[in-house]
Amino acid sequence: MPILEVQSLSKSYRQAGGETTVAIGNITCQVEAGEFVSFVGPSGCGKTTLLMSIAGLLAPSSGRVIVNGKEVSGPPANLVLLFQEYNKSLFAWRSVLGNVRFGLAARGARSTGAAAAEDKARTLIELVGLKGFESHYPWELSGGMQQRVAIARALAYEPEVLLMDEPFGSLDALTRLELEDTLLRLWAELKTTILFITHDIEEAIYLSDRIWVLSRRPSQIVQELKSDFSRPRHQVTTRADGRFMELRNDIYRQIGNQGAP
Amino acid sequence: MNQAKPFNWLGWSSFALLLVAWELGARATPKLELYFPPVSRILSALGQALAAGSITQHALVTLARFAEGFLLAALLAVLSGVVLGYFRFLNSLLATLIELLRPMPSVAIIPVAILLLGIGDGMIVSVTVYATLWPILINTIDGVRNIDPTLIDTGRTFGLNRWRILCQIILPGASPYIVTGLRIGLSIALILVTTAEMIAGSTGLGFFILDEERAMNSANMYAGIVVVALLGYMLNRLFLMIESRAMKWRHGMMARQAA
């Protein structure tokens, strides 16, 4: 049984003028436990709407989302969404440690005792490479470090499924590569299922097992592709593989063929 | 913001100079003694009043009324501000009433309060609560409404229920606004307590000041003014001290953004 199923999901908005905009056409897909899957699509294709619907933060207009065999009607307990805007989603009034401990408390880890929770939070902070910054506030950190805090906070919640909405989209290129590797390392270690959204084709190939190419609005899955490069992957050798470029060009044509918006 | 501000020598020197000028001016014009007694006479009147304990009694009464009014207003205003900020329907329902009542000078409510409650502590505390409510209420509503929806969604995706979102996200998120409201409310509360005591009190610093004026004891009147000024100054300092601890994260953030 897949851990996550999306069945004929569509979402439309009634706009101020009374017109209806269809953001998501009709999306059906399945994610197996432990997989790393990405949606890749042009900007403005309703990626965020799609992820918000899967996360139970937006009600779909039709279709349904099933997590672990249960239909989603609100935010599911075993799933967490990581936002692109780390500067808006981190708690400015909590330190790095406080933010990560929020994730633990939300899971209900309080019963394990304060000392155990603190240890666990510190371990996670170390895992995302922020040892020594536990008592810093988010605004004292760079963008990349803030997103690391957000990742640690999300992982503290121990979700079975982690949804990520263009998490590295506003970071510089080098930081982005670093965080991709951090994420892959954590994913391998914690065996979380990850559903990732990006407009960066190479990022999708580098990270994922499978990739769904999305069309422009109303978004639909145009093609499913496998990215079966051996793991652990490497920023130089994996990307230097001839098939990597072939896959990249394939996807690029898929997206490019749709013409300018 | 972390280190204490250096002592403002220039500011304090000019203040001292003003006092010296007052003292010399008052001594040079004995005919104006009733209006401007020398600073030294005000201070000795203050010393005597303190020694007799009468002014201390009045100050404690004023302080108690202030504390009761301010804390009650803070509690009421933060609670209703959160509710009004959160539920748009309620806010629309009451927005016009709030917009009309808020700009009205709050002292205008004192006769109504006397009519309804008579003269006494209840009346004084009530008008103080009424006046202090507005800045805290308005700021709390603004603060709650200005919370980024992403923060609320973060709480939801982590499975928080409404109550925990309120306590763990909305209240701390709105706290910079709430603190601004409280700080404005602090000054207003002291103004209202003093004014109400002047109009309908038989105790308190407001009563003391007006009573001494009527008895032509202008040095005592000024002594009362000095005490109420000191009270305001100390309450404000106390508030800033608590605020700078509680809102440490905010000050650092603002300093970073300004740099």
Q: Do B250 and A77 touch (CB under 8 A)?
A: no
Q: Which residues of A touch B256 (CB under 8 A)?
A: 139-140
Nearest CA in chain A to B248: A93
d(CA A197, CA B11): 59
pLDDT digits (tens, 9 = 90+) for A181-221: 999 999 999 999 999 999 899 999 999 999 999 988 888 89
Highest mean pLDDT among A95-109, B161-175, B239-253: B161-175
Contact across the interface for B256 and A139, Cβ inside 8 Å: yes
User: What amino acid is encoded at A111 in this protein?
Assistant: S
Q: Read off the pLDDT of each residue in B193-218 and give the average, rounded to a whole number.
A: 95
Any chain A CB within 8 A of the CB of B245? no
Predicted local distance difference test score (pLDDT) of residue B110:
94
**Residue given tokens 């009542």 in the structure block:** B101
A131-168: per-residue pLDDT in tens?
999 999 999 999 999 999 999 999 999 999 999 999 99
Kindly determine whether residue A75 and residue B156, on different chains, have CB atoms separated by under 8 Å: yes
Sign for the pseudo-dihedral over CA of B136, B141, B144, B145: negative
d(CA A214, CA A207): 17
Of the candidates B154, B159, B256, which has its C-beta nearest A83's C-beta? B154
Least confident of A102-116, A119-133, B123-137, B209-223: A102-116
From chain A, pick out residues whose CB is under 8 angstroms from the CB of B168: 102
Q: What is the distance between the alpha carbons of residues B33 and B37, in angstroms, rounded to a whole number?
A: 5
Contact at CB, A75 and B157, closer than 8 angstroms: yes
Q: What is the pLDDT of chain A when averaged over all its residues?
A: 91
Helix runs in chain A, H state only: 47-54, 86-89, 96-107, 114-127, 143-156, 173-190, 201-207, 237-240, 242-256
pLDDT band per the 50, 70, 90 thresholds, residue B4: low
Residues A7, A28 contacting (CB under 8 angstroms): yes
Residue A142 CB coordination number (10 Å): 11
Sole residue written with tokens 């990597």: A244
pLDDT of B227 > 80? The answer is: yes
Query: What residues in B contact A88, CB-CB < 8 Å?
Result: 148, 150-151
The reported pLDDT for the residue numbered A54 is 94
Tokens of B49: 């009043």
pLDDT at residue number A110 = 55
Give A137's contacts in chain B (Cβ within 8 Å): 249, 252-253
Chain A hits for B172, Cβ within 8 Å: 91, 93
Query: At residue B3, does pLDDT exceed 80?
Result: no
Contact (CB<8Å) A79/B252: no
Residue B135 — very low, low, confident or very high, per pLDDT cuts 50/70/90? very high
Tokens at A105, concatenated: 């408390």
pLDDT at site A114: 79
Residues of chain A found within 8 Å of residue B154, distances taken between Cβ atoms: 83, 89
Task: State the pLDDT at residue A109.
Answer: 56
Q: pLDDT of A13-61, one tens digit each?
A: 888 777 888 888 899 999 999 999 999 988 777 888 999 999 999 999 9
| Position A260 pLDDT exceeds 60 | no
Interface test with B, best of A82, A91, A96, A160 (most B CBs within 10 A): A91
How far is the alpha carbon of B128 from chain A, nearest alpha carbon, in Å? 32
In A, which residues are within 8 Å of B253 by CB distance? 92, 137, 139
Q: What angle do CA A55, A59, A62 make, to 5 degrees?
A: 115
Give percent of chain A with pLDDT exceeding 70: 97
Q: What is the mean predicted confidence (pLDDT) over B233-253?
A: 90
Contact B252 A83 (CB under 8 A): no
Best of B146, B151, B157, B243 to disrupt the A interface (most A CBs within 10 Å) is: B157
**Residue with token string 């990307």:** A239
Where does the pLDDT of residue A111 fall: very low under 50, low under 70, confident under 90, or very high at 90 and above?
Answer: low
pLDDT of residue A25: 87
Task: Dig out the tokens for A88 from the structure.
Answer: 């808006």
Residues 20-79 on B with a CB inside 8 Å of A are: none
> Is residue B2 scored above 50 in pLDDT?
no
CA–CA separation, B157 vs A74, rounded Å?
A: 9
Please give, rounded to a whole number of angstroms, the shortest distance from the CA of B241 to a CA of chain A.
Answer: 18
How sure is the predictor about B259, in pLDDT bands with cuts at 50, 70 and 90? Answer: low
Tell me phi and psi for residue A148, to 5 degrees.
-65, -40
Interface test with B, best of A78, A101, A139 (most B CBs within 10 A): A139
Please state, in angstroms and rounded to a whole number, the distance separating the CA atoms of residues A67 and A75: 10
Please say if the pLDDT value at position B90 is more than 50: yes
Mean pLDDT, to the nearest integer, of B73-102? 92
Q: Tell me the average pLDDT across B89-109.
A: 91
Q: Which residue of B has its CA nearest to A89?
A: B151
Residues paired with A194 in a beta bridge? A36, A162
Q: How confident is the model at residue B251, as a pLDDT? A: 83
A94/chain B closest Cα distance in angstroms: 8
Percent of chain B past pLDDT 90, that is, above it, reads: 82
pLDDT of residue A43: 76
CA–CA min distance A81, chain B (Å): 6
pLDDT band at A259 (very low <50, low <70, confident <90, very high): low
User: From the CA of B141, how many Å to the nearest CA of chain A?
Assistant: 19
User: d(Cα A171, Cα A142) in Å, to the nearest integer?
Assistant: 10
Q: How far is CA B12 from CA A135, B18, B231, in A?
A: 38, 10, 18
Residue A137 C-alpha, separation from nearest chain B C-alpha, in angstroms: 7
The pLDDT tens digits for B178-202 are: 999 999 999 999 999 999 999 998 9
Beta pairing class for A20-31 and A70-71:
unpaired
CB under 8 Å to A127, separation ≥6 — which residues?
A152, A155, A186, A189
Task: Return the residue of B nearest to A79 by Cα.
Answer: B157
Tokens of B37: 């007694």
Residues of A in contact with B257 (CB under 8 A): 139
